[in-house]
Structure 1
Amino acid sequence: AVLPTAYEESAIDLYLTTRKKIGQWLKGQMLLSLVIGLLTFIGLYFLDVKYALLLALLAGVFELIPFVGPVFSGGIAVLIALSTSFNLALYVLILFVIIQQLENNLLVPVVMKYTTNLNPAAILISILIGGTVFGFAGLILAVPASVLIQGVIEKWASAKKRKKGLGL
């Protein structure tokens, strides 16, 4: 056994809790991708941009890549719109900025709060620290690591309360 028997049950419980929360986080990411793809399609369709559906699918998929994904998908959409007219490219750029502001200030905090039960500020801080310390991999793994840390802290606090006789 890797762990002493006394810690085995706690470790398994922590693993199961973390796995569940990371699954919830992934569901949240998928929901965000779907919403961003849908908003992008609606906007590009009404702006009459060529390949609106393809660009919206690209925006939804690239949404899974923190920070740079939306920039890439927006850049591609702007370049395609630029092949039609400069004004259309400008409108597409404005559309992507509005969608990103809506996502960052409303959608991400709400969706992640309800899917992972992590504070939105904790999510932002974890992404910033993860990206700064570990680069691109840190951006990807920041939220799952935060979920694990939250689980460890919750288990520790719960055990401490039980020892003091403060209930569960």
Structure 2
Amino acid sequence: MVSLFSDWYKRNFSDPSAVTLLVILICTFLFVYFFSNLLMPVFVAVAIAFLLDLPVNKLTQLGASRAFSVMVVVSAFVGLSLLGILGLMPVIWQQSSNFLQEVPHMVGQGHTYLLTLPEQYPELVSAEHISHVITLVNDKLIEWGQLALKASLNSISNVVALLIYLILVPLMVFFFLKDKQILFDSVRQFLPKDRRMAKQVGIEMNQQIMNYIRGKLIEIIIIGAASTIAFMSLGLNYPVLLGVLVGLSVLVPYVGATIVTLPVMLVAFFQFGASAEFGYVMLAYGIIQALDGNLLVPLLFSEAVNLHPVTIIIAVILFGGLWGFWGVFFAIPLATLVKAVLNAWSTTTGHEITPKP
């Protein structure tokens, strides 16, 4: 047993750069795990800096200074973000308020419909079963109402956190982009000199994360806009609210699309009933999801993501459980990091690992 472990250790850690990579990964994981709540604005700023680094580099290649390029790109990004937020938030707030007011009516309609099932299908459904289902639904609605009340009571702290994000994040993005090389050099001086594998993983992940964040933002905008336009043209209630939900659902591959299908289907069903209009809404929604999975995602992420769907779902569950929303958002880059580490390690040990797409 000792010899077996010794052979495994020599095979995987005989290269000093492998030990360096392992130490860097462990220290980074522990740091993020224990300080993620405090440093989340920093991580958000880093993600936005990755997104804006490409246009900054394009401007500097045209002859502009780094500071001027960063100022122009960050100002444009903040301006467009504020324009989108100020344009969408009032509409989303109004439609959300109307939707919450209509929920009791929708629940009453659902109860009435369920109570008719024992008469229509007595051999399949009994009145006791329907009564049990209605009780479960009522209990779940009460639970969700309590959660909503708790969230509203915490709204003051959420507003303070939002103000911190709106002020600190743009400032940090500016300095991350302007002093990018200085910051990298200051970090390198604390790292061991023999870090060949860490450098290999870093180069791969830099391009992967940049492509992923940029592609994910484009995907959210396209899917959200297409869904909103489709819902508006079909006369569906709350089109902007549902369109934004569909757009944000792409943050969680596979799982997000499954979850957001429920509100779209329920709103369409209670508005149109079992009619052709309901079928048109679900058909349009299905076409958008199909185009997203079979056309848009391959175009945007063909070079950024090469992971099996099971791997992606496991990554979403694992990192989402560790870091909540941001863990879900960065689940695919983190899974890609694991793959890059395994590939770099296999190069050292002589057994290359090539995961199936």
Length-normalised TM-score, structure 2: 0.37
- Please name the residue that 2:247 is paired with: 60
Deviation at 1:113, TM superposition (A): 1.4
- Please name the residue that 1:166 is paired with: none
- Residues 1-168 of structure 1: matches in 2 within 5 Å? 2=23, 5=192, 7-86=194-273, 87=275, 88-114=277-303, 116=304, 118=305, 122-123=306-307, 125=308, 127-131=309-313, 136-137=317-318, 140=328, 141-147=331-337, 149-150=339-340, 153=343
Deviation at 1:16, TM superposition (A): 4.6
Deviation at 1:42, TM superposition (A): 1.5
CA distance in 1, matches of 2:302, 2:221: 17
Structure-2 change in CA distance of 1:31 and 1:136 (3 Å): same
Bigger Rg over Cα: 2
Gaps of 5+ in 1: 161-168
Deviation at 1:89, TM superposition (A): 2.5
- Please name the residue that 2:118 is paired with: none
> Which residue type is aligned with residue 310 of structure 2?
L
> Which residue type is aligned with residue 212 of structure 2?
W
Deviations 1:64-87 (A, max 9, x none): 122121122222112112222122
Cα RMSD after superposing both structures: 3.2
Length, aligned pairs only:
151
Deviation at 1:44, TM superposition (A): 0.6
Deviation at 1:49, TM superposition (A): 0.7
Farther off after superposition, 27-36 or 104-113: 27-36
CA distance in 1, matches of 2:244, 2:291: 18
The answer as to whether partners of 1:131 and 1:138 remain within 8 angstroms in 2 is no
Deviations 1:32-63 (A, max 9, x none): 11111111011111101111111101111122
CA distance in 2, matches of 1:93, 1:60: 16
CA distance in 1, matches of 2:333, 2:219: 15
Structure-2 change in CA distance of 1:19 and 1:38 (3 Å): same
| SS of residue matched to 2:195 | helix
Deviation at 1:149, TM superposition (A): 2.6
The answer as to whether partners of 1:18 and 1:148 remain within 8 angstroms in 2 is no
Farther off after superposition, 76-85 or 103-112: 76-85
The answer as to whether partners of 1:18 and 1:147 remain within 8 angstroms in 2 is yes
Deviations 1:97-125 (A, max 9, x none): 111111111111111015x2x4xxx33x2
The answer as to whether partners of 2:220 and 2:248 remain within 8 angstroms in 1 is yes
| SS of residue matched to 1:32 | helix
Identity in percent: 21
Deviations 1:122-147 (A, max 9, x none): 33x2x323436x67237953454235
The answer as to whether partners of 2:228 and 2:243 remain within 8 angstroms in 1 is yes
Structure-2 change in CA distance of 1:93 and 1:20 (3 Å): same
> Which residue type is aligned with residue 128 of structure 1?
V
